[in-house]
Structure 1
C-alpha cells in the first residue's frame, strides 16, 4: 500500500503550525473517516460533524481517507471542508488491499508513526506535540451522520473514568423517503433515485426491521449496564492510549486488524483483554444506512455472523471478551428458534398427513407473548411508523425477518465445515454494487414445488397414511416430538417474559 497525497483544507496542518508553541497545543479530537467511492455521502457525513458542539477548549481535526477511490470522493470532501470551515485533511491511498482496515491504519500511521518504516523515520517535534494533544480518536464511516451533540455525549462518556477505552454511539437506521413522492417527470428523478435518499416499500420495510433489531440489541446492552462486546465502526470514540496499548500488546502496525471480517469486534475484544471498558452511550446517536434488499442484507449478516463465529471458535486469535457467554447464548437462542420452527413444520405436516393432529389452546400462549414483545420493541424503536407497530403485533414482519436471520445462521455454521473460507467483505461489496444477484425467487419456487408435491402425495395416498398400521407406527414418534417441542416452547416463552420485563425500564434505543 502506498500513501500518495496529503491535502490540507481548513485552518490547520500537523506539519505547519505557525504561531503555535512547540511545547503546547490545545487538546483535540481527531476523526478518521475511511471513504471508498463515497462521493454521494461524504458531504452529509461532514455536515454532521459541523453540527457538533465541541467540549470547551477542545478542537476537532478531520481526516478523510480517500481509499482506492475512482470517483470524486476527494474533491467532494475538500469542498465540504471549505463549506463547513472544518480542520480537514484528505489522505489519498492507492494499492490498499486491506480495505477499511488498511485505510484506518493509514490515518493512524500518519499521526503516530509507521512501525514498519524501514528508514526508521522519526516524528518531528511538532508532530510529537500534536500526537500528545490528541485526547480522543473518532472512528466513523463515510455514510454515517452524527446527531447534534453526539460527539459531546461520547466525549463525556469517555472522560467519565480513566479505564474507559471506547464509547459507541447508539445507531439508528435512516428511513428512505417514499419513492412514490417523486414525480417521474422531475428532470432530477434519476439523480434523486441514484442518491439513495428515496426507496420503495420493500427497502423501507427492510430498513425498519434492521432499525428495530438494532433497538432491541441496544436496549439489552443498556439494561445490563451499557457494556458492549462490539464498538461499531460507524461511530465510536476511542481513547488513544487504549488503541496504542492494543498495538503494543499485539505487535501490530496499527490498531485495526484484517484477521477477521468483524474488525471492530476484534478490536473491542482486544481492548477488553487489556483491561479497558467498552460502553454504549446512553444519549449519543448516529444515523447510519441500512441494507435495503434481501440480498445485500444476507451478505452483510453473513459477514458479521461468520466473523463472530470465527472469533468465538478460533483459538489462534488469542482474544477474549467478558461477553463471550452472552454471545454463545445468542447462538444457542438462534439454534433453538430454528429447531422449534423446523420441528413444528415437520410434526404438523406428519400429523395432518396421518390424521393425528389435535388442537390445543396452549399454543396461543407463545404467539400472544411474541406479539406483545414485538409491539413493545416497535414502540421503543426511534421514529417508528403506525404500520410498523401493526405488522409487529401481527407477527408478520418479525417472523419474515427472523427466518432470513435463521437461514444466515445455518449457512454460517455449515460454512464452518467447509474448507474454503469466503471473503465476507468482497461478497458484501459485490452485493451492494449490484454485481451479484439473490436466489430468493428460485428458493421460494422450490419450496412451493416441494409443498405442492408433498400435498399431492398425501392426497393420493391418504387411505394408506391414515390406516391404523401407519398411525400406530408413527404415533410414538409423533407424541415424543410434540412433548419435546412443548418443553422447548415453554422455555422460549419464559425467555420472552423475561425480555418483556427488561423492556419496562427507562432505557431508550
Structure 2
C-alpha cells in the first residue's frame, strides 16, 4: 500500500491513485480464506484503480493469518492482515477495526490525527468492498459492482447476486484417498441431504432476488457476503449516528441495520444485475435453523424495536412477508385440524376446486427451480411434485413460530453464538426427537379415533361439530383464495426475462 504519487505543478498537489479496499472479517477461516482471495485475484479492475485487501483475523486460534498472507503472495494481491484479540463484537468489531485503521478511531483518548500519508490514502479510497471469508466473487463481479456504484452519486451500496455453492458428490470421493477425511471436513463434498438443503437455499435466494429485481432492484439488506459501498455513505452513517464505525452490534442482522440507516439518510441500496458471488450454504437442518433463527429474529427486532430509530421504504414489504408466512402457517394448521375432525366424524367431502391452489403452487415452484442458477433435473421434478417446497416451508414455519414466540416472551438469545456453535458441532439438532414425538402423538390420536369411532360418527356428535367444520372450511377457503391470487401474481412476474 505504498502507491503514493506526487505531482509537481503550480499547486504542488500530492495524490494517490484511486483504489478499492476490501474488508474481509475472518474468524478461524484457514480452510476458506485462500479461495476467497483467489476470487479477488481473478478480478478485472477498473482503469487506473488499485485494490487493497484487509483481512481481519478476528480472535483466531488457527492459521488464518498465515494462510491469508501466503494467498496474497500467491495471487499477487496487496494484502494486509489485521489481528484482533479480545474482540467481543464478532463480525461487527472486526469490520470496524479495519474502518478505524483507515479513517481513525473517534474514541482515541489522545485524539491522534492522521498523518499526511494516511490522509492521502483515505482520500484515494473510492469504494469499500465488504466480504465474508467463505465467499468467492465470480470473474468480473468487482468491475460490475464498481460500474453500478458509479452510475449515480446517491448510490450508497451495491450488492452482488448470491448463489450457494453446491457440494460435490460425496460418493465421488475414493475412500482410499489419503485425504478423504480432510476433504470431507472442508465442506467441499456432501451427501444427498446436504446437496438437497443447498438447492433449497439456492432456490429461496433466487426467489428473493427475482422479486427485488422485478421491483426495481432496490434491496432492504446489503448482504455482508459481497457488497460494494461508497465511503462517503458509510462516513455519513458514522457522523449522523455518532458511531465509532459504520457497523453496529445492536442487531443480529448488522448488514440489514446498516442498509436501513443508509436508506434513512437517502442513499440508494441496490442489487447488481451482473455481479455474482458464490457463498457457502448451511448443509444440515440444525445449522440452517440456527442461521435462519438469527436472520429472522434480527429482522423482527428491527421491525418492532422503536429504540433503534431506523426505517426503510421496504418496511411494508417486510410486514407483508410476515403476514404471508403467518397465513401459510394458519392454512396448514387449519387444514390439518379440519381434515382430522372431518375424517374422525365421517363428514369429509372432496372438492375438485382444491386442485387449483395445488396446481398454481406446482407451476410456481417449477418456474422458480428453472430460474435458479445451476439447477438439476431432480430439483425441478421435486419442485413440481411440491415435495421439496413443502418440507422447506415447514422448516421455515417452525422458525417463524419460534422467533415470534421468543419476541412476544421478550426472550432474547445470542443468534451469532447459536449459529457458530451449530456450525462447529457444539450443539445438536432435536429434529429426530421432534419427528418421533409427532409420530407418537399422531398414532395416539388415530388409535383413539378408531376406538371411539361409533361415538364420533353418531348423529348427535356430527350435528354438534358440523357448524364449526363449515365455518372453518369457509375461513380456509378465503385464506386459500388469497394465497392463490398471490401465487398467480408471482407466476405473472416470473414470466419476465430476469435472472436470479
- Tell whether the structures are fold-level matches, with TM greater than 0.5: yes
Q: What residue is the counterpart of 2:399 in the other structure?
A: 408
Tell me the TM-score normalised to structure 2 length.
Answer: 0.98
Q: How does 1:193-208 map to 2 (within 5 A)?
A: 193-208=184-199
Q: What residue is the counterpart of 2:10 in the other structure?
A: none
**Aligned mates of 1:200, 1:20 — CA distance in 2:** 57
What secondary structure, in the 3-state scheme, does the structure 2 residue paired with 1:416 have?
Answer: helix
Q: Does 1:181 align with 2:172?
A: yes
CA deviation vs aligned residue, 1:447-490 (integer Å, no higher than 9, x gap): 00010000000000000000000000000000000011011101
Q: How does 1:424-503 map to 2 (within 5 A)?
A: 424-503=415-494
Runs of 4 or more above 6 Å deviation: none
Q: How does 1:75-224 map to 2 (within 5 A)?
A: 75-224=66-215
Q: What residue is the counterpart of 2:252 in the other structure?
A: 261
Q: Does 1:386 align with 2:377?
A: yes
**Aligned mates of 2:408, 2:364 — CA distance in 1:** 35
**Aligned mates of 1:206, 1:464 — CA distance in 2:** 45
Q: Does 1:36 align with 2:27?
A: yes
Runs of 5+ in structure 2 lacking a partner? 8-12
Q: How does 1:363-378 map to 2 (within 5 A)?
A: 363-378=354-369
What secondary structure, in the 3-state scheme, does the structure 2 residue paired with 1:285 have?
Answer: strand
Runs of 5+ in structure 1 lacking a partner? 1-11
**Aligned mates of 1:314, 1:135 — CA distance in 2:** 34
CA deviation vs aligned residue, 1:11-56 (integer Å, no higher than 9, x gap): x24xxx5765671111000000000000000000000001100011
**Aligned mates of 1:231, 1:85 — CA distance in 2:** 28
Q: What residue is the counterpart of 1:354 in the other structure?
A: 345
CA deviation vs aligned residue, 1:137-175 (integer Å, no higher than 9, x gap): 000000000000000110011000110000000000000
**Aligned mates of 1:61, 1:273 — CA distance in 2:** 30
**Aligned mates of 1:414, 1:222 — CA distance in 2:** 32
**Aligned mates of 2:398, 2:190 — CA distance in 1:** 25
What secondary structure, in the 3-state scheme, does the structure 2 residue paired with 1:283 have?
Answer: strand
CA deviation vs aligned residue, 1:375-409 (integer Å, no higher than 9, x gap): 00000000000000000000000000000000000
**Aligned mates of 2:402, 2:184 — CA distance in 1:** 33
Following TM superposition, by how much is the alpha carbon of 1:311 offset from its aligned partner in structure 2, in angstroms? 0.2
Q: What residue is the counterpart of 2:268 in the other structure?
A: 277
What secondary structure, in the 3-state scheme, does the structure 2 residue paired with 1:408 have?
Answer: helix
Q: What residue is the counterpart of 1:309 in the other structure?
A: 300
**Aligned mates of 1:420, 1:304 — CA distance in 2:** 16
Following TM superposition, by how much is the alpha carbon of 1:122 offset from its aligned partner in structure 2, in angstroms? 0.6
Following TM superposition, by how much is the alpha carbon of 1:419 offset from its aligned partner in structure 2, in angstroms? 3.6
Q: What residue is the counterpart of 1:7 in the other structure?
A: none
**Aligned mates of 2:129, 2:6 — CA distance in 1:** 24
Q: What residue is the counterpart of 1:228 in the other structure?
A: 219
Q: Label 1:19 to 1:276 Cα distance change in 2 as closer, same or farther (>3 A).
A: closer
**Aligned mates of 1:327, 1:475 — CA distance in 2:** 38
Q: What residue is the counterpart of 1:63 in the other structure?
A: 54
Q: What residue is the counterpart of 1:242 in the other structure?
A: 233
What secondary structure, in the 3-state scheme, does the structure 2 residue paired with 1:64 have?
Answer: strand
**Aligned mates of 1:159, 1:189 — CA distance in 2:** 46
- Contact 2:4–2:17 under 8 Å retained in 1: no
